[in-house]
Every structure is written in C-alpha cells, then in structure tokens.
Amino acid sequence: MNDPLSQPVPEGAGQTFAPLVDGDCLSAREFLKRYLPRRGTVKAELIGGLVAVDPESRRAVMDLSTSMIRSCLRSYAIQTPGTRMDSDAVVVLGWDTVPQPSLVLRVLPEYGGRSRMSTTNVIEQAPELMVDFATNEGAFDQRGKLRAFRSNGVVEYLIWWSDSRTLDWYTLERGEYTLVMPDFNGVLASPSFPGLRLNHSALVNQTSGAFMATLQKSLQSPEHAGFVERLARKRAATQSPNPGAST
C-alpha cells in the first residue's frame, strides 16, 4: 500500500482547508488534510472514497452494553501484553478508506502486529479488530464498510446495534467475511485474540457480572497463556541483534 502519510499531513495552526462535505469523493490524503485540523470538533470517515460526516447512526450511541464491550476489550488488553485498545482512533486503511471506529484492538508492531501509530497520531494499516457502535441498520453503511474493510484486510469487525440490541461479529476467511457464531453456551470467541470471549446473552441482557466473568475465566485459559507466550517470543525476536537467525 502506498502510504497516504508518506508526506507530512498538516494539523495545523493558522491554515485553512476546505470543509468536509457529506458524499464528497476524496483521497485519503486529502481527507486527512481537511479532517485532522478539525478532529474533536466534528466526526467524519472516508469509506471507499466517499466522505461521511458525523453519521446520524453514530451519534450518542451509549448504553450499558457498549460500556461492557469497552470494558471487556480494555481488560483484555491490560492482561495481554503486546496488545492495545484505542477509542475513536483514526485508521488509515488505504488510499480511499479512513474509518474512525468506536474501538480498536490491535497487536503492537514490536509484538508482530502490522498496524502502527503515525507521527500525526493516526493508526496506519489494518488493526486486527475494529468495533463500531451504531443505532440502527438503516442509517449505517454496513455493506460499504464491509467491502472497504475486506479489501484492506481487516480480519475482524464487530458491530453492536443499540436499537435492536444485536451483535454482528465478522471474521475474514479466504477473502470473505463470515459471522462468528456462538458456541453451545452462547459465547462468541475471537479468532485473532485467543482468550477474548464475549457472553452474548449477558451482553444482550446487560448482565455485566456474568459478562466479565466469562472473559476472566477465558483469560485464565491455556489458549490465552499460549498467545501471550507467542507474543513475548516475537517481541524478543525483534530485540535480537540478529532477528533472522534460527533459535
């Protein structure tokens, strides 16, 4: 991918840029040039080359279930060295796609992850998991996002629909998205992050105790311990004076 930020993108002071208009067709670089100086005062995304300014479906989406998902990912990141959760991060996926998901969970580059934080404080390249909180499906460009995310290699994408209290969790398999299905206990498991398990019924019923208990139990599992060990080995390899040598 040609890095849209290969040249400095001004955030700055004293400069005037054309405003973002919903439906405008822009490149990632032009979008960032206009958006970064306004970040914090307006929310916008670029999906497949089209600008979406402060989508109605994303406004004031906040309920106990969204807080539970946020707490779950934060707890997972804290207890999984080498991973990081970010909120409302601007993510440069490609020349025509710059989403700003509600949450991002990623493996840090020094632990083998491919995404990195740029000098302009945006994430470059696809994180392993992105999360959106939305109100209703009618006002949310789910298909457009899935197309853009698939073409840019986003491995997992989770959407919590607050109006219908439903969860869609997509995972990329052989170039296509499929839905992650719950096991016989009603628990959804992340393919990319061993030990990240969401109790679907507890989420829908907003039973936070049971929801977090499922996660904590999974964080004590051998699969999570093995993942932490693999990340640690990758970190050690990057610090080796000869990381290409066999051990």
Is residue 21 in some structural domain? no
Is residue 65 in some structural domain? yes
Q: Residue 144: which of 52, 60, 70 has the closest Cα? A: 52
Stated as kind and residue range, the H or E segment containing 84 is strand 83-87
Q: Give the chain's domain count.
A: 1
Is residue 142 in some structural domain? yes
- Which domain does 61 fall in, by range? 56-89+100-237
Is residue 175 in some structural domain? yes
Q: Residue 205's CB: how many other CB atoms inside 10 A?
A: 14
Which amino acid is it at 228?
A: V
CATH number at residue 182: 3.90.1570
- State the pLDDT at residue 15: 59
Q: What are the tens digits of pLDDT across the range 41-95? A: 888 999 999 998 875 545 556 789 999 999 999 999 999 999 999 999 999 999 9
Is residue 110 in some structural domain? yes
Stated as kind and residue range, the H or E segment containing 166 is strand 166-173
Is residue 75 in some structural domain? yes
> To 5 degrees, how large is the angle CA 206–CA 209–CA 213?
120
CA dist 15 to 37, 132, 176, Å? 9, 31, 42
Is residue 76 in some structural domain? yes
Q: What are the tens digits of pLDDT across the range 136-175? A: 666 677 888 999 999 999 999 999 998 888 999 999 999 9
